[in-house]
Amino acid sequence: MSRLFGTSGIRRRVDELPDQFAVNLGRALGSVVDCKVAVGRDTRPSGPRLESALIAGLLSTGTDVLEVGVAPTPTVCVAASEHGAGAVVTASHNPPEYNGFKLFNREGAFKPKEEDMVEGVVKSLKFIEGAGGSKKQDYTGKHVKLIEGVVGGAEGVKVLVDCAGGAGSTVTPKLLESMRCKAKFIHDNRDGVFPHGLEPTAENLKRTCEAVRKSGVDVAFAHDGDADRTCAIGGDGELIEWDTFLTVLASQSRKVVTTVDASMRIEEYCKKVIRVAVGDVAVAEGIRNHKAGFGGEPSGTYIFPDVHMYPDGIATVGKALKLVADGRFYELVEDIPSYPMERVKIACDHNNKEKIMNNLKKSLNNLNYSDVDGVRVEEDDGWVLIRPSGTEDYIRITAEAKTQDKLDKLVKEGKQWIKQAT
């Protein structure tokens, strides 16, 4: 049996997720944890089936279950932080034909060692037995109060939110009402019909951006399917570039954590920047280790430790709206420079990745580089990251520079280094 957990829980095509798989996952989770488990799901049509099977597995081990129902992943995390553990049936921003599971403890997402424990029990089929109980509880109100208690109000700000037909529509409207905003919502249905792709990309949000232009709002936001990530759209209908939005949010903290593939602009706006491996688990760990005030990735996942320790697209909306209300949001957006950046994929057989990366490090030992995750070579006016993909047969090159000529040079050098290391 291949490994169950990937870089963000379990994600598979729905036809590869039979009921028995979910039952056994619930049995394994219930055999590993010794606490109540909060369970929720996003709006995918396959969600109720998989949620019921997962809960049945948990109950069969004597584990008590808190049924949160349709809710954003960060809302279930709020429940998990209170009760000890949580599980969400979601494939996040993957297409509707996928679904999956994310597991949580009090501090956020399960770490790889915890996932390995659950996976070991699934494969051994050595489950404990018992009879647990369950009850339904709505955690959206607690989630809203938690965010509002940190950000306060944004009275009168005109905002539009695209909920993507996902679970964000259960919480974000309540938050904006509580913050006294003048809010409009599109795609806030929860019937399993998705108006566009679940990932908030420029391609998927073309019609949303047009709606923003016609709406007369001050700012807009778009969630993914389970609302753990969010992008921002200016009142003019232009998508605010991911690294720019990341830098805006990061600029509000003296010490921040971000990933090796994020823009160098963050260093220009934050006093202390700690770079970690790609992935929200690494970001959360970095926040804890360094007592940072913020952590985020250029993929649209942002962690605010004054709220909780998991990426929260709804808290992101609240934090950004506070900046809009204070008149600082667009000042920052306009002030942050835009540097050219390029991402390139080089085909590489999975079995050769380790050898190539080891050879690369040896050949670059006279250069200033970090090997936190792949190899990131730093120069005064740019950087290049060479990193093997964790899910595909590629080695990825990401580069950024203050000029296009410098960027072209860095990408060319990156390709040459990989060729020499092969």
Q: Which of 226, 272, 269, 229 minimizes the C-alpha distance to 249?
A: 269
* The predicted structure's pLDDT at residue 389: 84
Q: Does a structural domain hold residue 5? A: no
Q: Is residue 68 part of a domain?
A: yes
In this structure, are 275 and 375 located in the same domain? no
Q: What is the pLDDT of residue 1?
A: 54
Domain end marker among 316, 335, 354: 335
Sequence-distant (≥ 6) Cβ neighbours of residue 339 within 8 angstroms:
263, 264, 265, 382, 400, 401, 402
**3-state DSSP call for residue 147?**
helix
The structure tokens listed for 255 are 């010490």
Q: Are strands 36-41 and 84-89 parallel, antiparallel or unpaired?
A: parallel
Residues 110 and 148 in one domain: no
168 and 244 in a single domain? The answer is: yes
Query: Quick check: 6 pLDDT over 90?
Result: no
| Claim to verify: residue 231 and residue 345 sit in the same structural domain | no
Strands 230-234 and 134-136: unpaired
| DSSP string across 46-90 | THHHHHHHHHHHHHTBT--EEEEEE--HHHHHHHHHHHEEEEEE-
Establish whether 92 is a catalytic residue: yes
Which pLDDT band holds residue 390 (cuts at 50, 70, 90)?
confident
pLDDT band at 393 (very low <50, low <70, confident <90, very high): confident
CATH of the domain at 43: 3.40.120.10
Confidence band (pLDDT; 50, 70, 90) for 365?
confident
> What's 15's DSSP letter?
G
User: Per the confidence metrics, is the pTM higher than 0.85?
Assistant: yes
In this structure, the answer to whether residues 181 and 272 fall within a common structural domain is: yes
Same domain for 101 and 185 = no
Question: By 3-state DSSP, what share of the chain in percent is helix, strand and coil, each rounded to 5?
Answer: 40, 25, 35
| Number of structural domains in the chain | 3
Domain membership of residue 105 (yes or no) is: yes
Catalytic residue among 52, 92, 169, 299: 92
Residues 6+ apart with CB under 8 A from 121: 27, 28, 31, 32, 127
- Distance separating alpha carbons of residues 21 and 56, to the nearest angstrom: 12
**Domain boundary pick from 137, 162, 178:** 137
225 and 363 in a single domain? The answer is no
* Statement to judge: residues 216 and 329 lie in one domain: yes
CB 351 within 8 A of CB 422: no
Domain containing 107: what range? 10-137
Q: Residue 3 falls within a domain, yes or no?
A: no
Do 263 and 202 lie in one domain? The reply is: yes
Give the 3-state secondary structure of residue 422.
Answer: coil
Q: Which two tokens stand for residue 274?
A: 């700690």
- Residues of the chain with pLDDT > 90, as a percent, come to 90
Tell me what the pLDDT averaged over the chain comes to. Answer: 95
Same domain, 117 and 158: no
pLDDT for 366: 81
The angle, 0 to 180 degrees and rounded to 10, between the axes of the packed helices 313-325 and 140-151 is 30
